Amino acid sequence: SAVISQKPSRDICQRGTSLTIQCQVDSQVTMMFWYRQQPGQSLTLIATANQGSEATYESGFVIDKFPISRPNLTFSTLTVSNMSPEDSSIYLCSVIDRGREQFFGPGTRLTVL
């Protein structure tokens, strides 16, 4: 299965600043996904990032707030822009491997003061 790493693992940020989260996969994958998990909640898909095209955002998420890059088949970044305390969450990247199995990174725990 794909092995996924994320940086940073956690951060504490000030309101109004931005944070870029990196996701690295040990194999080439077509589809990468970014999820948000608010405290005590399930996972909510933010966007799908495919290499060579713009990310596709789910309802309630916009590119200005969560810009995504996908420069190659093993790497993606998610930026959380102009942060507010409501953005405090765990942000997870994931990939589809072996056709229909989705694997997750360890997550980035973001706290916004």
Partner 1 sequence: GQQLNQSPQSMFIQEGEDVSMNCTSSSIFNTWLWYKQDPGEGPVLLIALYKAGELTSNGRLTAQFGITRKDSFLNISASIPSDVGIYFCAGFDNYGQNFVFGPGTRLSVLP
Give the residues lining the site for partner 1 (CB under 8 A).
Answer: 1, 4, 33, 41-43, 45, 92, 94, 100-107, 109
**Which pairing describes strands 10-13 and 44-50: parallel, antiparallel, or unpaired?**
unpaired
Return the DSSP state at 59: T
Q: Nearest distance from residue 41's CB to partner 1, in Å?
A: 8
Half-sphere exposure of 105 (CA within 13 A, CB side): 32
Q: Nearest distance from residue 30's CB to partner 1, in Å?
A: 14
Nearest to partner 1 of 59, 64 (CB atom): 59
Nearest to partner 1 of 30, 82 (CB atom): 30
Nearest to partner 1 of 64, 99 (CB atom): 99
Residue with tokens 């940086």: 7
User: Is residue 69 within 8 Å of residue 59, measured between CB atoms?
Assistant: no
